Amino acid sequence: MSIPEPELASQMANAIRMLAVDAVEQAKSGHPGAPMGMAEIAEVLWNRHLKHNPANPAWADRDRFVLSNGHGSMLLYALLHLTGYDLAVDELKRFRQLHSKTPGHPEVGITPGVETTTGPLGQGLANAVGMALAEKLLAAEFNREGHMVVDHHTYVFMGDGCLMEGISHEACSLAGTLRLSKLIALYDDNGISIDGHVEGWFTDDTPKRFEAYGWHVIPKVDGHDPAAVDAALRAARAQAARPDGKPTLICCQTVIGQGSPGKAGTHDVHGAALGADEVQATRDALGWSHAPFELPAEVAQAWDARERGRAAEHAWRERFEAYRTAFPEAAAAFERRMQGELPADFASRLPALFEAIAARPDAIATRKASQNALDALAPLLPELFGGSADLTGSNLTNFKGCTVAGRDRAGNHLSWGVREFGMAAALNGMALHGGFIPYGGTFLTFSDYSRNAVRMAALMKLRVIHVFTHDSIGLGEDGPTHQSVEHVPSLRLIPNLDVWRPADGLETAVAWASAIERADGPTALTLSRQNLPNLTGGKVAAGTIRRGGYVLSDMEGAQAVLIGTGSELTVAMAAQAALAGEGIATRVVSMPCTNVFDRQDAAYQDAVLPPHLPAVAVEAAHPDFWRKYVGRTGAVVGIASFGESAPAKDLYAHFGITAQCVADAVRSRVRAGQRAPHAAVPA
């Protein structure tokens, strides 16, 4: 990488400053302070160290860059524009405008070169931990003597806010333990947040904190001295190359809004446009005589990284072709996994797998059914990487033949420790990096800890799988702190998140297969602690279950529909039997995934849930969600309060989640005269 003369380097940094200032000023909205304060740091990293190719943002062995303090998005947009990515100056002029490539916070998939969506502080840092973990695992799996095809760094910019968020502790503690040495974090230590000087609420000794995590720490680096930043980055990369290397934290002391004579060093420059007068004063102070969004030719040329990027990728591709010649199977597997493609024979092997699982007559908990599915699926998918937040023996996320990953040990299963949020965000980073289908487990009630990372996975359309066990009052004696009531309904409301609540082994296996095959979003599997009978085996095709909702049991002349999900499907079936004894015919619909069912065409939905028939839904969860299916005249048997500590059987009786209560609700509606024949289910 080139090292520009000091004056040119200063002008290159000022180009970042002024592009950020001009864009925020034009939008009358945004955060100019961080881009202005981090301009020299950005110049050194992006111009002298970062391995990337603007013409191919998806190059597998590129360095990853994460802007964890995502409010400083114009810093990243300026860098992408300057180095030659497909981000024209007109897009900078449309900063924060509808359908532009420059949204208020960076969004993956919107802007070429953006590696992850950041905005919720601290999560970008945790994403970076996941990326670095993915790099280390892939290197251990695919590199061979003399063939280093996986060899890149993960760099992250972060501010005080990222470090105040609790997720930073979860993620960085683990990064130190796992010795993710190719993770290099640059801390923008400017002492300012939205409310002002952070010394009133953030007095941590950050260097000592990270040293205690097991990081290599470089303190008190002048963030406005390119030579000092460059030396720190060189030391970090040298650390990364050591067999016992550690992740590195570089503490860069900066002035927020550097260059603004009237607002630098204050919170006034954090989250608001400078104003016309201060913009001009900044131009004058920097000696920047150019019009808004204009760059001097020599600065534009110095920033252009397209040729360097092309050469770097070309050199890697030559190495990869040599690798392919020596190890053709490994090369093909690496390419397939980095492209996110499943093995060619995956789909064809599923029918036999489903058949074997459906044939098991025993009653088992769906958490155990999930493990059984993993036992069958994992050998087909070397990219599966699982784990649990200190609950492996309860979540049952391990599988036969899995290997436990550790500090210096590759594997496909990790004990994340009690780090639900950090785990979920790191899984997002692994998915973003590529090469893995990550999944992680915890109790459903603790999805509250990880929820924002789950939401971010949905927003980014990531293939991440969450295994949430102990999904209701059915877990019993642990009581209301551990009993989920509102969690399943609330998770179903997250756009682009598929929430499966399977009722038996086959539904669970189908849920797993659907989650693995889904390339455009995450999946949550909510699973029971208690044993459940095999209700679908020999009766229902896997393809039918894949539609999210289907008719499990029907009777001629059905007068009402019973909707069940998960452990309460058994309750619906028992209610049907009781009503049949009274001459009341009903239909039982299993709804393992409402999100998928809602994507079916209207004809199918109406055939499964005939609009003219009264409907009663039963689920050991808050009842309000089911109103969209049963309407005002239907009924929902659920629980609208917190649970209690007692055996599961006693709790179901106490809260009235019983076949008798379901049958009572059906009787009242049938007797009210709501009777009609049902339509046929389309093939």
Active site residues: 420
C-alpha of 513 from chain center: 19
CB crowding 78-107: b at 16 or more within 10 Å, else e = bbbbbbbbebeeebbbbbbeeebbbbbbbb
DSSP-assigned beta bridge partners for residue 590? 550, 564
**Residues 410/137, Cβ–Cβ less than 8 Å:** yes
Torsion sign over Cα 99, 105, 110, 111: positive
| Cα–Cα distance, 291 to 296 (Å, whole number) | 10
What value does the CA radius of gyration of the chain take, rounded to a whole number of Å? 28
- The two tokens of residue 499 are 């929430």
DSSP-assigned beta bridge partners for residue 192? 197
CB crowding 270-292: b at 16 or more within 10 Å, else e = bbbbbeeebbebbbeebebeeee
Classify residue 202 as left (phi > 0), alpha (psi -120 to 50) or beta: beta
**Residues 229/243, Cβ–Cβ less than 8 Å:** no
- The two tokens of residue 546 are 């894949």
C-alpha of 540 from chain center: 32
Helix (H, G, I), strand (E, B) or coil at 173: helix
Closest residue by Cα to residue 171 from 127, 141, 219, 202: 127
DSSP string over 336-403: HHHTTPPPTTHHHHHHHHHHHHHT--S-EEHHHHHHHHHHHHGGG-TTEEEEESS-HHHH----TT--
Helix (H, G, I), strand (E, B) or coil at 280: helix
Closest residue by Cα to residue 649 from 620, 617, 616, 626: 620
**What letter would DSSP give residue 147?**
B
Q: Phi and psi dihedrals of 580, rounded to 5? A: -60, -35
Q: Phi and psi dihedrals of 593, rounded to 5? A: -145, 100
C-alpha of 55 from chain center: 26
**To 10 degrees, the CA torsion angle through 189, 195, 199, 205?**
-50
Longest Cα pair distance anywhere in the chain, in angstroms?
91
C-alpha of 338 from chain center: 17
| Cα–Cα distance, 352 to 357 (Å, whole number) | 9
Torsion sign over Cα 463, 468, 469, 471: negative
Burial classification of residue 122, based on how many CB atoms lie within 10 Å of its CB (0-12 exposed, 13-18 middle, 19 or more buried)? buried
Classify residue 6 as left (phi > 0), alpha (psi -120 to 50) or beta: alpha
| Cα–Cα distance, 497 to 486 (Å, whole number) | 16
**Residues 68/124, Cβ–Cβ less than 8 Å:** yes
List strand residue ranges (DSSP E) for 513-593, in order: 523-526, 531-532, 550-553, 560-564, 586-590
**Residues 595/522, Cβ–Cβ less than 8 Å:** no
